[in-house]
Amino acid sequence: MEAVNKLEANTKFYKQLFEFIEDALIIFSVEDNRILDVNNSAAALLGYTKDELKCLKFYDIIYKNDIVDDLIKISVKKRVYKNYETTYLNKYGQVIYVDVHLRPIEFDGHNAILVFSKDITNRKKQEEALKKNEAIFRAVVEDQTEMITRWLPDGTLTYVNKVFCSFFNKTTDELIGETFIIDMPVSDMNFFYNNVLAKLSYENPVVIFEHETSIKNEKRWLKWIERAIFDENKNIIEYQSVGRDITKQKLAENALRESEKKYRKLIESTNVITWEFDVDTKSFHYVSPQAERILGYNIEQWYEPSFWYNHIHSDDRERVMAVSNENFINQQDHEAEYRMVAADGSIKWFKDMTSVMKEGNTPAKLYGILIDITETKKTEQKLYDTQLRLSMLLNNLSNVVFYETGGGREFITENIYGMTGYSADEFVRDKQLFNKLMNNEDNERIYKSLTEWHQAGENGILTNEFRVTHKDGSIIWLEDHIFIITPEIGPKYMSGVMIDITERKKTEQRIKDSLEEKEILIKEIHHRVKNNLQIVSSLLKLQAGYVKDPDALEMLLESQNRVKSMALVHQKLYQSKDLSKIDFNEYVHQLLYHLLHVFKIGPHKVKMFICVEKMRIGIDTAIPCGLILNELVSNSFKHAFPGDRSGTVEIKICSNVNGSYKLTVKDDGVGFPHDVNFRKTTSLGLQLVMTLTEQLDGSIELKNGCGSEFNIVFAKMDYKERV
């Protein structure tokens, strides 16, 4: 965007130069003599508004135009400046004498003539008056801002004004009577004779020219109007020169040209496409080169009719065309964001900034820039997805508050109000509010814990419990989990999750105070454990959104599934009437439904066959058995059916006569690799299976034929009372 802003500033600068030049500037078409543009000086000179002048032809303002056609033809043919004096007729019928020179140019696709017009009406009147009174002539001339001199054909100066003397740093006495041509450098002298004096004649008494020279080793640009003065026999008897130092103007013009080249090159190296669109032909007539790099189509394809329309994304096409047509009809500049289909089939997002160029009151051309904002849109989508996940998490956990602090970030979720009685704005405005509300004993302990954590490198998650005073005067317990986030851009900051554990604390207190409430408290504990495990699972899921490494991401998701399998056991326990055992058949079905959802496995990919005997088992058996089932089924989902391959997964759990249990996980996929010993594999999942089998005092076997089949036999583990 910086390059675009500089280009716009550059264009504005050109326009300002055009508007602020003292001479009246008029641009008209060679084909039909229609006036295309004027500056403020021209409007002031002729008494019209700029819009009124654009409705006229150049001939309309010429008082006597008998020589204009010939001059224009000569100017266009030779592609050189053409100078003459003529008269304009202003809006009020007054005749204005002007000194004019013409220059052929290209303007908005037209062959045009740029007319520099200098009002010489006063000079004409003065010339008449000067014939009668030389004193008045000298007074008027001396007040001019241009350099004025008169000299004889041999170069002898007969008159110089003050500006002339000042420019050459000499007095009038030092100049009058001297021959200036003698002091002229040879190169300047040759130019002067060949390009100025040689062109002066009775028919062409005036020559306007610009010339670069050196004065005191300094390069200067001068603009001169040379006029020959004739006697009654049409012989030149004297010359008059009127000059202006245009060095600053020339330097500005050169700087503008260089700046234009530089910024055009800069823009063409960015992901910004500049374009111009012709309304009559309904096609592009200019598209910058980087369009081919960004979208993959060669530039010639862009010039084909309806190219732009056909390559707008079908979902955006109707909306974009409606916006474009409405603003075109209203002749308004406009912006739009939409997608285009690249040559390789990929989708690119663009911000299109369009300007409407008018000829008279009719739109004639559209021009603008297409900025590639694909990466910005991807980032916005990722941010939206993350915010959505976080919002869903917080909305479903009313007793959990999320916050950020440090690094220029101060944020806390609105549900802090329901937790503490104070609004989020109050906490943001007063960063010490938590310290003020915290119990004095806890405050000292928390400060020490934070200091030690910072000094140790701020690794991992710092967890603390503390008491704060609610706005209504009651005491609440909060569990705080703090961790450091280091973004790719910007300073690091602290983020955290605070959980209202007041009820848990009360529950824990009731357990200590009354054994009669044991059953209720155990249920509450299982419920809280399940909730905490669910929070851990949610945090792992949220953290996975910031992880870009595929291996690390897979490890986080596997850990999340393991936590989910344990949380499900606690959920079943607090939902069960018998707090020591769960319905294992129901548990297995819910666990497998969770895995199907996580791995996004549909019935067209894998068919499930589940046969679980009705049984109730304790937590010491259910958790390891659930983890084993999680690992083996996950392994089948990930590896048994690569590509488009589909198949079946079968789970059986039954009791044996001797009181043991048999767990079978079988699939008809590609099978377990023959060159890998599953008992000594480096896979964390299979290592966990082996460890948990030993914990269950069980045995494990693998049948590797048409797919893989794991059979695990284990004994039911009874709950052992702990002291």
**321-348 pLDDT, tens per residue?**
888 888 877 888 889 999 999 999 999 9
Q: Which of 357, 372, 387 is the last residue of a domain?
A: 372
pLDDT in tens, 439-489: 888 888 988 998 988 888 888 888 999 999 999 999 999 988 888 888 877
Q: What mean pLDDT do residues 105-118 have?
A: 85
Q: Are residues 101 and 127 in the same domain?
A: no
96 in a structural domain: yes
What is residue 3's predicted lDDT score, i.e. its pLDDT?
Answer: 57
Mean pLDDT is lowest, of 367-371, 627-631, 699-703, for 627-631
Would you state the structure tokens that stand for residue 225, as one six-digit string?
A: 């109007």
What is residue 347's predicted lDDT score, i.e. its pLDDT?
Answer: 92
Q: What mean pLDDT do residues 388-393 have?
A: 69
Q: Which of 344, 372, 400 is the last residue of a domain?
A: 372
Contact 180, 150 (CB under 8 A): no
396 in a structural domain: no
Mean pLDDT is lowest, of 478-492, 501-515, 523-537, for 523-537
Q: Are residues 591 and 699 in the same domain?
A: yes
Quote the radius of gyration of the chain (alpha carbons, Å): 45
**Higher model confidence: residue 384 or residue 40?**
40
Q: Which of 59, 52, 50 is nearest to 18 (CA)?
A: 50
CA 499/CA 468 separation, integer angstroms: 12
Contact 151, 140 (CB under 8 A): no
Would you state the structure tokens that stand for residue 403, as one six-digit string?
A: 């916050």
Is the pLDDT at 26 greater than 50? The verdict is yes
Confidence of residue 721 (pLDDT cuts 50, 70, 90): very low
Write a three-state SS string for 438-461: ECHHHHHHHHHHHHHHHHCCCCCC
CA 445/CA 566 separation, integer angstroms: 32
CA 541/CA 560 separation, integer angstroms: 7
CA 274/CA 288 separation, integer angstroms: 5
CA 353/CA 369 separation, integer angstroms: 5
Q: Which of 707, 690, 708 is nearest to 699 (CA)?
A: 690
Q: Are residues 132 and 115 in the same domain?
A: no
Expressed as residue numbers, the domain containing 67 is 22-119
53 in a structural domain: yes
What is residue 391's predicted lDDT score, i.e. its pLDDT?
Answer: 66
Is the pLDDT at 521 greater than 50? The verdict is no
Parallel, antiparallel, or unpaired for β 82-89 and 157-160?
Answer: unpaired
Tally the domains of the chain.
Answer: 4
Provide the edge-to-edge strand list for the sheet that holds 283-287. Answer: 283-287, 272-278, 362-372, 347-359, 334-341
Q: Are residues 143 and 236 in the same domain?
A: yes
Q: What mean pLDDT do residues 401-411 have?
A: 80
325 in a structural domain: yes
Most confidently modeled of 77-91, 339-353, 579-593, 636-650?
339-353
Domain of residue 631, CATH code: 3.30.565.10
The answer for 457, left when phi > 0, alpha when psi is -120 to 50, beta otherwise, is left
What is residue 349's predicted lDDT score, i.e. its pLDDT?
Answer: 92
Q: What mean pLDDT do residues 303-309 have?
A: 86
What is residue 679's predicted lDDT score, i.e. its pLDDT?
Answer: 82
Confidence of residue 723 (pLDDT cuts 50, 70, 90): very low
DSSP string, 124-170: HHHHHHHHH-HHHHHHHHHT-SSEEEEE-TTSBEEEE-HHHHHHHT-
The answer for 367, left when phi > 0, alpha when psi is -120 to 50, beta otherwise, is beta
**Higher model confidence: residue 128 or residue 41?**
41
Confidence of residue 511 (pLDDT cuts 50, 70, 90): low
Q: Are residues 205 and 298 in the same domain?
A: no
What is residue 315's predicted lDDT score, i.e. its pLDDT?
Answer: 92
Confidence of residue 533 (pLDDT cuts 50, 70, 90): low
Q: String of b and e for 563-572 (b: at least 16 CB within 10 Å)? A: bbbbbbbbbb
Q: At what angle do helices 121-132 and 134-142 cross, to 10 degrees?
A: 140
Which phi and psi angles does 538 have, rounded to 5°? -65, -40
CA 373/CA 335 separation, integer angstroms: 13
Contact 652, 612 (CB under 8 A): yes
CA 323/CA 224 separation, integer angstroms: 53
360 in a structural domain: yes
Mean pLDDT is lowest, of 290-304, 353-367, 409-423, 543-557, for 543-557
515 in a structural domain: no
Confidence of residue 582 (pLDDT cuts 50, 70, 90): confident
Most confidently modeled of 62-71, 147-156, 172-181?
147-156
Contact 491, 408 (CB under 8 A): yes
Parallel, antiparallel, or unpaired for β 606-612 and 647-655?
Answer: parallel
What is residue 340's predicted lDDT score, i.e. its pLDDT?
Answer: 92
Q: Are residues 63 and 172 in the same domain?
A: no
Q: Are residues 67 and 142 in the same domain?
A: no
Would you state the structure tokens that stand for residue 405, as one six-digit string?
A: 């602090």
198 in a structural domain: yes
What is residue 394's predicted lDDT score, i.e. its pLDDT?
Answer: 63
Which phi and psi angles does 50 have, rounded to 5°? -65, -40
Domain of residue 241, CATH code: 3.30.450.20
Q: Are residues 209 and 244 in the same domain?
A: yes
Q: At what angle do helices 374-395 and 518-544 cross, to 10 degrees?
A: 180
Is the pLDDT at 688 greater than 90? The verdict is no
Q: Are residues 605 and 715 in the same domain?
A: yes
394 in a structural domain: no
Residue 464's DSSP bridge partners are 480
Parallel, antiparallel, or unpaired for β 400-406 and 493-500?
Answer: antiparallel
What is residue 103's predicted lDDT score, i.e. its pLDDT?
Answer: 82
Which phi and psi angles does 604 have, rounded to 5°? -75, -20
Distances (CA, A) of 552 to 418, 556, 639: 36, 6, 18
Q: String of b and e for 135-172 (b: at least 16 CB within 10 Å)? A: eebeebbeeeebbbbbbeeebebebbbebbbebbeeee
What is residue 528's predicted lDDT score, i.e. its pLDDT?
Answer: 47
Question: CA 558 from chain center: how many Å?
Answer: 36
Q: Are residues 323 and 368 in the same domain?
A: yes
Q: String of b and e for 342-379 (b: at least 16 CB within 10 Å)? A: eeeeeebbbbbbbebeeeeeebebbbbbbbbbbeebee
Q: Are residues 244 and 157 in the same domain?
A: yes
pLDDT in tens, 205-253: 898 888 787 777 778 888 888 899 998 888 998 998 888 888 888 888 8
What is residue 722's predicted lDDT score, i.e. its pLDDT?
Answer: 37
Contact 35, 26 (CB under 8 A): yes
Confidence of residue 424 (pLDDT cuts 50, 70, 90): confident
CA 22/CA 650 separation, integer angstroms: 92
DSSP string, 323-389: HHHHHHHTT--EEEEEEEE-TTS-EEEEEEEEEEEEETTEEEEEEEEEEE-HHHHHHHHHHHHHHHH
**Higher model confidence: residue 519 or residue 658?**
658
Mean pLDDT is lowest, of 263-277, 357-371, 567-581, for 567-581
Locus of tokens 């009809």: 329
Q: What is the mean pLDDT of the chain?
A: 79
Q: Which of 51, 84, 119 is the last residue of a domain?
A: 119
Q: Which of 388, 374, 375, 408 is nearest to 545 (CA)?
A: 388
Q: What mean pLDDT do residues 35-61 have?
A: 89
What is residue 137's predicted lDDT score, i.e. its pLDDT?
Answer: 53
Q: Are residues 275 and 207 in the same domain?
A: no
